[in-house]
Structure 1
Amino acid sequence: MFCVCLQAQKKHYFLIDTETNVRKKVKDSATAVKFLDSLSQSNYFFTQLKDVKIKGDSTEIYFDKGKNFNQTFVNVSDSIIDRLKIKREFFTKNLDSTKKSINKKYIDDGYSFSRIKTKYKGQKDGFPIVELDINKNDKRIINGFVVKGYDKVPKRFMKNLEKDFKGKTYDDKNLIAINKNFQSHPFVSLERPPQTLFTKDSTQIYLFMEKKKTNTFDGVIGFGNDKTDKFTLNGTLNVNFRNMFNGFEAINLYWQRNPDKGQTFDLQTDIPYLFKSNVGLNMKINIFRQDSTYANVKMQPALYYHINNRQKIGFRGTFETSTIIDTLYVQGKDYNKKGIGIWYDMTEPTDIDLFLYKTKIRAEFDYLTTNYTLDNVNAIQNQFYLFAEHNYHINGNHFLNIKGEGAMMSSKNEFSANELYRFGGWNSLRGFNENSLAADFYYFGSLEYRYLIGNQAFFDVFGQYGQLNNKTLNVKPKLYSVGLGFNFFIPIGLMSFQLSNGNEFGNPFKFNDIKIHWGILSRF
């Protein structure tokens, strides 16, 4: 009975807008007064209490908000003047926008819970005079990160993230930068945008990570004619195992066979955070064999430093041996090379799954000593290499891929044929057989127009121009390549089909020189 009596004595309060007849229930009279006072913060400076009716246990409060004055004369406080360097008094046609603009400046300074206070000061020329002041509350900085979901990321990766952002102002600019760090990261992504937990003394950023499918299988089959115009089948296999041990490590296996019976095998291992530091280790072994003519073996151990998530700079050693198998091959020589080099790599990932990356730059320099075994001759060599590629967004679904590559080796001694650069093919100067071009200096550039069909496919049309210099054969041909292709997603990966034709300027165009490539890139 006591509970029933208590419930019967409970009072109900209702706020009723006389203009719209909107009825709002509030907890008590103090809440009703607080609501009426708050209307001035929404530019209703002349709110009037019209009537109060008591009906049993219900109290009905009738009010008229009056006119909303968004055009006002504004007086600002000294603290706002000192921060924004604005006039003390001015007229605004949009008070809401003015308040929002002022408050945004303080939020950008880390005062995430700042609030503009509005006070009515009278009238002038039929418009209210409003005084604006700021309640800043405490300044907020980023105190740390909390990882949820996939939390097996390398500790050095998180330390680098904290180094970049810990202690910085908590604002939209830094939140966007944190999110951008993960949008195109090769190994991890965020399930949702970064979330924030505010406590009295700290601001923690929650990162809900997930592991990406980064292992890839890239297979290409090529059809074309060899030097004797005989139809041949060639191909490439490229398998990457990445982040299998949650250390952002990578193991790459590469095999290629060209129509002229040359075979290439690469094995590369990359450990990015050696001993939990920003120093990485890269080991590469390359074996090239030209049928039964000669074989080259090259090993390049390297240490590098992470400038940031997208840039590396490294030092490496080179140890290379070449052996002539066919004694009738007089253009080649047995030799041993060793030396040191420096390289720089920058990769900007892409948000478009159809592209490998948005921008990539690779620059290398090596200082080598070459010993020609049978001649007992030592020679100093300098080698340079530069690669750059960028996917430029024209507009809509139209993109332009711009690519350039060049390499040069210099020495006072003549080069043997088996130590020259080998290039040409699917990922190089298209329209030529894989590794069919040999030079001590070469360069080529390409323009490729790409039209995207949603996020599942794109057409491309390309043209390439290049030149090589082969001192051994005393030739400097100018080369070109043209072609078109189609790339599209199927359930097992990205399928690529390409037709291309390359030739030397001045030679007649031959349809039987058209190269056909078909490949697939699968992530798992």
Structure 2
Amino acid sequence: MQKISFIIFLFCCVFLKAQQHEFWLIDIQTEKRTLVKDSIEATKFLDSLSQNYYYLTELKNVKKEGNKTEIYFNKGKNFNEALVKIDDEIAKNTKLEKHFFTKNLDSLKKIINENYRNQGFTFNRVKSKFLRMENEIPEVEITVNKGNPRIIDGFIVKGYEKVPKRFIKNIEKEFQEKKYDDQNLLKINQSLQNHPFVILEKPPQTLFTKDSTQVFLFLQKKKSNTFDGIIGFGNDNSEKFTFNGSLNVNFKNMFNGFETVNIFWQRNPDKGQTFDLKTDIPYLFKSNIGTNINVNIYRQDSTFANVKFLPSLYLHLSNRQKLGLRGTFVTSVVMDSLYVQAKDFSKKGIGVWYDFTEPSEVELFLYKTRIRAEADYFFTNYSKENSNKSQNNLYFLGERNFYISGNNYLNLKAETALINSKNDLVNNELLRFGGWNSFRGFNENSLLADFYYYGSAEYRYLVGNQAFFDIFAQYGQLNNKNLSLKPKLYSFGIGFNFFLPIGLMTFQISNGNEFGNPVKFSDTKIHWGILSRF
């Protein structure tokens, strides 16, 4: 036992003594001193210099004093620094001088390589040739073997292959016969990211043959059916606490045609109900022409009911843009003979619309950008008065999510609408807005106007990829000629959105009023809902 203890003691002494030994590496050019732990590390350090273009490194002297060893070395010339000579073509393409000095030859060759890649010369080779030493600096000539230019010849879909043929033809129309370069590959990738019906499983891959360049798209069918339910709590006109809500069900791409069937129902605190059925088929007869048919029914308790039929045809300008032509057929019936603020009428008209949607990189946000513009022209017949009037209707919606920094985002939204008519409008044909997805802080469809506008600013803070908080404020104004009202309105509130296993949960508290009126706690609106995909 004593022998073992002595051996352990002797080993510890030797180990501690070795630990105290210092190895200093001293660069005689810069007098920079570097401390390493042992001779092996010192050797590795000197070897690393040659790997960084100091090919002529020399060991000048080694001094040992006690527990300190000093190693003096001269790095010599860095051969990554050079005088460069290039021909007229390279100088023109890179906008460089024909003869210049560079401190990083490798970086320069990489820049030239990428420059030619962006011109479609995917397999170009950049070569450097040593010419001479001039004032102890190597002079190098750079040449480029461009090879044959590459263009995108076609696309091959793997995985989910039942996508509409027109969808692939549109991608081919946009990218086929364009240069094969990193920029176009990035655009292809971005055009399919966050697509409403397909998922790009991995970045596009490429098959090169002698005569063609084929891009492979690895797609997966997306779970795009959605159920959106909202429950709201607020006050009606008599300031009684009421329950309201909405249901929104979307059946999407069930037949692999990117088609959509949307069913929407809403009940507001003032006993109004909305039912909306919409069908969208994007590629009729494998063309870029799509159709959208919308039936909308609005009933205000037992007072009146409006029925709208909106058939539409549209053209795909791109995967994100649509331009449409639609017809409008509206019938309104007053059911309460004592209600004198409404009239029986029917409308027929034609209109145009434009729709642009840009998907968001943030899964919690529905989109990054959304624009909707509509213009309609009507002929309105008031049956009991046997009169016909012409009217036009304009509508615009714009919304955008801006990235600020870190987890901070800003959502800006603006909406406006106008009914222009030579006659006085009645209540059952006025524009209706307000509610949790419109002008928040007010009951659903409780604001009536022949013209309105509002804007909103919403600060959003992301908590990872699963939730975000928001604080919002809105300002707007409406015009109601019948009541000679032009109130300026405001609202504010907070919200919280987060992912659960069943979907995206939304919780929102808001309050709104007219400028000049005090804020009432009793006017607070609470909405809770969930968006689930299946």
Scaled by the length of structure 1, the TM-score of the pair is: 0.86
Matched, 1:437 2:447: yes
| 1:294-443 equivalence runs, <5 A | 294-443=304-453
- Tell me which of 144, 168, 193 is aligned to 2:154: 144
State the Cα distance separating 1:188 from its structure 2 match. Answer: 1.1
Number of matched residues?
473
SS at match of 1:147: strand
Instruction: Give, in whole Å, the separation in 1 of the partners of 2:415 and 2:326.
Output: 21
Matched, 1:228 2:238: yes
Matched, 1:71 2:81: yes
> What is aligned with 1:32?
none
Decide whether aligned partners of structure 1 residues 83 and 518 sit closer, same or farther in structure 2, where only a CA change above 3 A counts.
closer
Give 2:186's aligned amino acid: I
Instruction: Give, in whole Å, the separation in 1 of the partners of 2:98 and 2:403.
Output: 46
State the Cα distance separating 1:68 from its structure 2 match. Answer: 5.8
- Tell me which of 88, 94, 98 is aligned to 1:88: 98
Instruction: Give, in whole Å, the separation in 1 of the partners of 2:171 and 2:334.
Output: 51
Give 1:419's aligned amino acid: E
> What is aligned with 1:486?
496
Instruction: Give, in whole Å, the separation in 2 of the partners of 1:118 and 1:342.
Output: 61
Instruction: Give, in whole Å, the separation in 1 of the partners of 2:500 and 2:252.
Output: 22
> What is aligned with 2:128?
118
State the Cα distance separating 1:86 from its structure 2 match. Answer: 3.8
SS at match of 1:80: helix
Instruction: Give, in whole Å, the separation in 2 of the partners of 1:328 and 1:143.
Output: 71
Matched, 1:98 2:108: yes
Identity %: 65
Decide whether aligned partners of structure 1 residues 78 and 487 sit closer, same or farther in structure 2, where only a CA change above 3 A counts.
closer
Matched, 1:496 2:516: no
Matched, 1:470 2:480: yes
Runs (5+) with no aligned partner, structure 1 = 1-18, 21-41, 47-65
State the Cα distance separating 1:79 from its structure 2 match. Answer: 4.3
> What is aligned with 2:198?
188
- Tell me which of 261, 264, 275 is aligned to 2:271: 261
Instruction: Give, in whole Å, the separation in 2 of the partners of 1:517 and 1:45.
Output: 71
SS at match of 1:181: helix
Q: Does the 8 Å CA contact 1:448/1:462 hold for their aligned counterparts?
A: yes
Give 2:130's aligned amino acid: Y
Instruction: Give, in whole Å, the separation in 2 of the partners of 1:509 and 1:100.
Output: 63
> What is aligned with 2:27?
none
> What is aligned with 1:208?
218
State the Cα distance separating 1:44 from its structure 2 match. Answer: 9.2
Instruction: Give, in whole Å, the separation in 2 of the partners of 1:80 and 1:441.
Output: 61
Q: Does the 8 Å CA contact 1:45/1:120 hold for their aligned counterparts?
A: no
Scaled by the length of structure 2, the TM-score of the pair is: 0.85
State the Cα distance separating 1:78 from its structure 2 match. Answer: 4.8
Q: Does the 8 Å CA contact 1:383/1:407 hold for their aligned counterparts?
A: yes
Instruction: Give, in whole Å, the separation in 1 of the partners of 2:143 and 2:440.
Output: 67
State the Cα distance separating 1:302 from its structure 2 match. Answer: 0.6
Instruction: Give, in whole Å, the separation in 1 of the partners of 2:361 and 2:109.
Output: 36
SS at match of 1:427: coil
Q: Does the 8 Å CA contact 1:81/1:88 hold for their aligned counterparts?
A: yes
Instruction: Give, in whole Å, the separation in 1 of the partners of 2:86 and 2:234.
Output: 78
Instruction: Give, in whole Å, the separation in 1 of the partners of 2:103 and 2:517.
Output: 73
State the Cα distance separating 1:493 from its structure 2 match. Answer: 0.5
Instruction: Give, in whole Å, the separation in 2 of the partners of 1:45 and 1:278.
Output: 63
Instruction: Give, in whole Å, the separation in 2 of the partners of 1:431 and 1:123.
Output: 78
> What is aligned with 1:59?
none
Give 1:431's aligned amino acid: G
Alpha-carbon displacement from aligned partner over 1:493-514 (angstroms, at most 9, x marks no partner): 1111111111122223221111
